[in-house]
Chain A
């Protein structure tokens, strides 16, 4: 008998595969932005937008500078908007039905 607890292996999908399960229509341009780029570049050390995003939208090269925004990944949860300690996230609803469409939700 094995002495280690027998826990089945849970195979978690990659973020890419997870996002692939959600229907998406590209609105053409980003509904997300930073309000003032210099705040991200000069003042922000924590990049909370990066650590809280459930969809890997926000990324920061080498841990500094203005984050890049993969808005096509966005699940429209609005976490970044509330999380940014500088209130520096510009957030709009994607236009005319574009963005994510949940089948189950």
Chain B
């Protein structure tokens, strides 16, 4: 028996798949390239190729593009905006406020950022979206440019001739499809790339597990605007750290506002989930119940529960991106920056898909498929914000891991205690409270010496 709501028969199958996917026509050698996965990276690659006159086939295992996707909640659009008309896209809200919160067991210490500029277009290129809607729309843009999309079709492996990748196997009858180029955009759970020995399975120390709910407020309209102090299409991105957010684990909680729902979730080290016996569901429940979080969610009803793993290995975990006849993009290539301050991935997915698509167009013009002919993809990626940002923060995760107890437990508690002390209302002079507050933080850091050491250890953050 399934606990899920079942789908009633084939009438609900997505129309975009049409008869094409169901009848499995022979696509062998009909296309210039096969893109495995119609997420952001795959559709960006297909769109880029189609715009340059190639005919890519976009293969999606879900009922529609985005059907299998879950993300934290913010789509970053600097490159998408160059590729498509975003005014027509299904966006939920632009991010007008970023808020960083330290949670101890029952304290909150927060910093809120609301630059006025974010209210003006392009809104710092940061929007909340539903991937189920946005990815379907984005894939449609690729189709309008000339790509062909098949859904409900799972790629099960690559076809090799000699050492070259010359196509893919699918789960359709006579499901082998050949094409000169294969773009592996299958996401972090990259079974095809791993099965083809193009990358190894990421160790669990480099994987985060995320559990998320989309909540609505059935009792009255306008509650999101009221509760998050929003006007019009403005929205918020709230990030939470510390033991009140995800217990003893390395990671954080988040709240994002959509049009008429909020997304709330936790994402933290899979290693911690395993060794500290901290289940995603229980961690999510505790986060939602924190005194600083619960009032934001009061009266909400769950409309969707989801879970996903996030590859967080960073620059060191990136596999070889080009192979003879194939490229790897997006989450499959480990292109996620999740360091606490910046939580990015959608921009990197689009950027990698764009460069990979461009490299294939150039190689196709010369009739070449070998890895060296596709080298402009990793080269452009190296020169772009994608690899530069990943490398910039490569040291941070290890560093934070070493300082974890101080950063996520002791310091949040000390700062909360210090601010409580500093603003204590009694008949003693302020000077006493200020001194005591300062002492509380300093004791935790290990005095001037400790504070200086800590600042030195993290100086690269502001370099």
Contacts and interface: CB of A to CB of B under 8 A. Distances in A.
Contacts, number: 200
Interface stretch (B206-214, B350-358, B368-376): B206-214
B68 A100 contact: yes
A5 B70 contact: no
Nearest to A31: B154
A27 B49 CA distance: 33
Interface stretch (B233-241, B298-306, B335-343): B298-306
Interface in B269-286: 270, 273-274, 277-281, 284-285
A45 interface: no
A82 B295 CA distance: 35
Given A52-B273, A81-B189, A97 B306 contact: no
Contact of B151 (A51, A76, A97, A100): A97
Contacts of B66: 102, 105
A105 B131 contact: yes
Contacts of A5: 106, 291
Interface stretch (B1-9, B26-34, B177-185, B438-446): B1-9
A93 B130 contact: no
B307 A54 contact: yes
Contacts of A16: 3
B296 to A, nearest CB: 9
A72 B1 CA distance: 7
Contacts of A55: 307
Given A72-B2, A96-B153, A97-B13, A103 B274 contact: no
Contact-size category for B: 35 or more
A76 to B, nearest CB: 6
Interface residues of A, number: 53
A54 B202 contact: no
A36 to B, nearest CB: 17
Nearest to B152: A97
A83 interface: yes
Considering residues A9, A93, A105, which has the most beta carbons from chain B within 10 angstroms of its beta carbon?
A105
Given A12-B288, A73-B3, A96 B154 contact: yes
Contact of B3 (A19, A52, A76, A83): A19
29 contacts: A5-B106, A9-B294, A10-B285, A10-B289, A10-B294, A10-B297, A15-B281, A18-B305, A20-B4, A21-B5, A22-B5, A22-B304, A24-B6, A55-B307, A56-B281, A73-B2, A75-B306, A76-B189, A77-B70, A78-B188, A79-B270, A82-B202, A82-B207, A87-B201, A94-B61, A97-B152, A97-B153, A101-B63, A105-B135
